[in-house]
Amino acid sequence: MKALVYHGPGSKSWDDVPNAELVDATDAVVRVTSSTIFGSDLHILKGDVPDTAAGRVLGHEAVGIVESVGSAVTTVRPGDRVLVSCVSACGRCRYCREARYGQCLGGGGWILGYKIDGTQAELVRVPFADTSTYLVPEGLHDEAVLMLADILPTSYEVGVVNGGIRPGDTVAIVGAGPIGLAAISTAKLFSPAQIIAIDLADSRLDAAKQFGADVVVNNSREDAQAIVTSLTDGLGADVAIEAVGVPDTFELCTRLIRAGGRVANVGVHGKPAALHLEDLWARDVTITTGLVDTWSTPTLLKLVRSGQLNTDAFITHRLALADIEKAYDVFGKAADTGALKVVLTA
């Protein structure tokens, strides 16, 4: 089969590799019909995830058709169309029993495209298929559910839910890439008074408006802190969501927040960020971090099916899976190309 193989920082190629096969009784092999690229794939390529081994097939998001299943799999069968979750869950360990699947102790968690071969391939082995795939409802096309593999549950769980957004809140979202836009979409489910999107690229801020941001701020030429302060009677935001993963954006979030407010970090960080406790210690600020658990995927599927979440709006580019190297160029230069999510179709 063909797959996108990581060869070390800065190096990847679309290669011939052995076909994905069943290894454990709980596995399924899925023929990928649609996949996409996530920001953490770029982090791996930059060397920010140094324990990713050279030779690894990248990717952790896919929709596809089940080709084969192990003897212990009971909920999916060959021919089923499924969403492959970015997080694999053994379903039995302490953390899985708490629905904290991202912390799975039984061999799951975020492993696809990181610790085991991933989804940017013609075939993918999915461990723990019963608890790591979701049947695609009739009537929904691949693109409608592909965004539920990662960006929507990540933004919802790690940003919106961890941030504790409540009706009437002012929410500042730093970063208007796919994760930030997904945070806008899912934050609106909780009726905040205003959502302020902050980024450096006008194209992404235009997208933020389309997704429902009330105010957009280009922090390359505007003072985001001053604007948020002016819009909140001098207090600051109730919730700040970090959706980039660099020190400056995390530190900005801690400056945007009001006393008693909540900072929810979603971005994948490859470098240390300063935590200015000399400013924060007396302000009752809560800071949360997290890896997505995907406990919300069934709920989000219902919202997509009912039309309350429009996932098509995330997709800006469509390419063949075999053109994935071009797709990485498009996605990696998003400020120039306007790329949000690139769908790769087999």
Q: Where in the chain is the domain with CATH 3.40.50.720?
A: 153-288
Cβ count within 10 A of residue 85: 28
pLDDT in the model for residue 140: 93
Please choose, from the candidates 286, 342, 297, the residue with its C-alpha nearest in 3D space to the C-alpha of residue 164. 286
Q: Where in the chain is the domain with CATH 3.90.180.10?
A: 2-150+293-345
Reduce the secondary structure of the chain to three states and give it as a string.
Answer: CEEEEECCCCCEEEEECCCCCCCCCCCEEEEEEEEECCHHHHHHHHCCCCCCCCCCECCCCEEEEEEEECCCCCCCCCCCEEEECCCECCCCCHHHHCCCHHHCCCCCECCECCCECCCCECEEEECCHHHHEEECCCCCCHHHHHCCCCHHHHHHHHHHHCCCCCCCCEEEEECCCHHHHHHHHHHHHHCCCEEEEEECCHHHHHHHHHHCCCEEEECCCCCHHHHHHHHCCCCCEEEEEECCCCHHHHHHHHHHEEEEEEEEECCCCCCCCCCCHHHHCCCCCEEECCCCCCCCHHHHHHHHHCCCCCCHHHEEEEEEHHHHHHHHHHHHCHHHHCCCEEEEEC
pLDDT in the model for residue 334: 87
CA distances from 136 to 84, 92, 298 (A): 10, 24, 10
pLDDT by position in tens, the chain (length 346): 999 999 999 999 999 999 999 999 999 999 999 999 998 899 899 888 889 999 999 999 999 999 999 999 999 999 999 999 999 999 999 999 999 999 999 999 999 999 999 999 999 999 999 999 999 999 899 999 999 999 999 999 999 999 999 999 999 999 999 999 999 999 999 999 999 999 999 989 999 999 999 999 999 999 999 999 999 999 999 999 999 999 999 999 999 999 999 999 999 888 899 999 999 999 999 999 999 999 999 999 999 999 999 898 999 999 999 999 999 999 999 888 989 999 999 9
Cβ count within 10 A of residue 203: 17
Dihedral, CA atoms, 160, 165, 168, 170, nearest 10 degrees?
Answer: -70
Which of 3.10.150.10, 3.20.20.70, 3.40.50.300, 3.40.50.720 is the CATH number of 153-288? 3.40.50.720
Which of 3.90.180.10, 3.40.50.720, 1.10.10.10, 3.10.290.10 is the CATH number of 2-150+293-345? 3.90.180.10
Strands 133-135, 81-84: pairing is antiparallel
pLDDT in the model for residue 49: 87
| CA angle (181 as vertex; 160, 175 as ends), nearest 5 | 90
pLDDT in the model for residue 270: 82
| CA angle (213 as vertex; 211, 216 as ends), nearest 5 | 120
Single-letter code of the amino acid located at 113: G
pLDDT in the model for residue 43: 87
Q: How far apart are CA 95 and CA 98, in angstroms?
A: 5
**pTM for the full model?**
0.95
CA distances from 50 to 7, 36, 44, 127, 159 (A): 12, 22, 7, 23, 25
Cβ count within 10 A of residue 75: 14
